Chain A
């Protein structure tokens, strides 16, 4: 990835991370991800005791007949994964903090996408990009290799935040490309109901969806001194108010809404993490792909 998208310190810490999927597929050649299938030509690795969660068809029934115990047959064969980076490019993603101009939500999303593409490249996984905006979908088909990384960098830099989140009807091209069991990472603020719906639809259609919500510092702290004219960048609605007076109620309501979003994510099996703009880029990646998180699905 072009060096300006990933800060050097973050690149250093990416070494400990590994992209993992809950269900890996065994269709597309060799990769890092476990696939406990027993297809022809697979190289036998070992037997191990059955654990809860193993698929019943992975159990060696002949061995069960001989020993009266469940054994799972494991193979060396590992398969690659397709990683889809879905970046919300609606106007709300252009928001940045006054204290740190230039570091917008979209810039952070670019950095996150670049980090994950770097991880995928290291593992031999394919990755693709979708920029979501009413201005038009920006699609980069999944592929692997260093050239794909450069194409992704070009597309990321060309991405600009404008318009609103597209309606689901606009998103039919996604279904052609994102296959079942693909890993989909959605980077958005998830303020739009459509974004939540898209994530839910993808998750419901057997795509493994991860969500990274990107929040500005002002949304977390709401430290506005004095009067401000707040404007919604997508609808254009305006509200004149005094920062300290609005603060407590906003924080309460915003927290409630966030908790509701998280609850919905959890209910449909979407793992999620959050990045506030004053944090390092690898904070949500560590939560999703760190050693502990990977262990849950290893």
Chain B
């Protein structure tokens, strides 16, 4: 449905009077026509129909042009142009049954592809965040379109909140389970500098505690020497490496505390440099200043800081059915101004062509 965002601009339609006045067929009388054979003309009363217009085609074009301009000023938009058929969407891989004919069947996958396009199954591998997709779909559909969601019994890849939607949806649970997002086992590999710094002992111990066989998933470069971060390390961090540094190491930039002790005092900060991270202890690596060094949990906490474990994301589908209460999302109206501008340009070109072509009777 077409709506106008600025209907007051329709007052510009008053300008329609201008071409009408221009084309009023009286100007040919105002301008005398030379006619040498006047002797053989005999005066006759003019017919009574006074209001006539010259060049009707050109007049129509000009009226259209001005109407188009006024409409353009009034900023027309196309609302409710979206499809209103009920939507059935399924997590790829579940048994969604036969496609429902009068409804729109789509996959609950990025881009919401139509249901007849095969999609990689979500029951075999990790899928994009499910709730995020559900919220996006809810926001994109017009408010009163019925929505049916077909999900397996066990869901994975969820986030912390149940989806709060603007509509009541049909939450249809079918047998099946999404696999847990298989977090790869964390294998940290520390590159420790040689030397006899006392703090290095604790880090060495933690490194050997975290050591596990297999190719390491993440390599951490440990740097102890005080002073600015050496150029080669900085370059490595910019390229994506992770550096764990002692408090004496300085680097330009802002660091945020990331690891706190039981008193809430910061133990380490994190600073992003380029694509990599610089972790830095805030205290000397000395049990007197940092008692946690002696804690048996120190290696695990260090690993959690360097590579945080994924948040829990699995739930039974019946427990996380979407709830309602979110305000409805406004359906974005389609702006018609660019198309109207194109039409106006075409009309203008046609008008100019018609007005300036060679053979014209009169010249308004």
> What is the interface of chain A, defined by CB distance below 8 A to chain B?
91-92, 94-96, 98-99, 189, 191, 218-219, 224-235, 237-242, 245-246, 249-250, 253-254, 257
Contact = CB atoms under 8 A, between A and B. Distances in A.
B44 A189 contact: no
13 contacts: A95-B34, A95-B36, A191-B37, A219-B37, A224-B33, A225-B54, A227-B25, A232-B35, A240-B46, A241-B43, A245-B44, A254-B37, A257-B39
A264 B63 CA distance: 55
**What class of interface size applies to chain B in its complex with A?**
20 to 34
Contacts of A232: 35-36, 38-39
A231 B29 contact: no
Given A224-B33, A227-B26, A239-B38, 17 more contacts: A189-B36, A189-B37, A218-B35, A229-B29, A229-B31, A229-B32, A231-B35, A233-B34, A234-B36, A237-B38, A240-B29, A241-B44, A241-B46, A242-B44, A242-B46, A246-B41, A253-B42
Interface string B33-74: 111111111111011000010100000000000000000000
Interface string B144-182: 000000000000000000000000000000000000000
Given A240-B46, A253-B42, A228 B34 contact: no
Interface of chain A: mostly helix, strand, loop or mixed: mixed
Contacts of B231: none
Contacts of B52: 226
B361 A245 contact: no
B36 A191 contact: yes
Question: Can you list the 9 inter-chain pairs with the closest CB atoms, starting with the nearest?
Answer: A92-B36, A232-B38, A231-B32, A230-B35, A253-B40, A254-B40, A229-B32, A228-B33, A242-B46
B50 to A, nearest CB: 9
Nearest to A218: B35
Nearest to A189: B36
B28 interface: yes
Contacts of B39: 191, 232, 257
Contact of B34 (A94, A99, A245): A94
Nearest to A238: B32
Interface of chain B: mostly helix, strand, loop or mixed: loop
Nearest to A104: B34
A238 B39 CA distance: 10
Nearest to B26: A227
Contacts of B36: 91-92, 95, 189, 191, 219, 232-234
B40 A239 contact: no
Contacts of B33: 224, 228-231
A257 B39 CA distance: 10
A241 B26 CA distance: 12
A112 B54 CA distance: 36
Interface string B14-26: 0000000000011
Contacts of B357: none
A160 B137 CA distance: 83
A227 B29 contact: yes
A277 to B, nearest CB: 12
Contact of B35 (A95, A99, A226): A95
Contacts of B29: 227-229, 240
Contacts of B25: 226-227
A226 to B, nearest CB: 5
A242 B35 CA distance: 14
B361 A225 contact: yes
Contact of B47 (A191, A228, A242): A242
A98 B34 CA distance: 10
Contacts of B42: 246, 249-250, 253
A96 B34 CA distance: 8
B46 A227 contact: yes
Nearest to B358: A99
B24 to A, nearest CB: 11
A234 B35 CA distance: 10
A232 B44 CA distance: 17
A239 to B, nearest CB: 6
B359 to A, nearest CB: 6
Contacts of B38: 230-232, 235, 237, 239
A245 B46 contact: yes
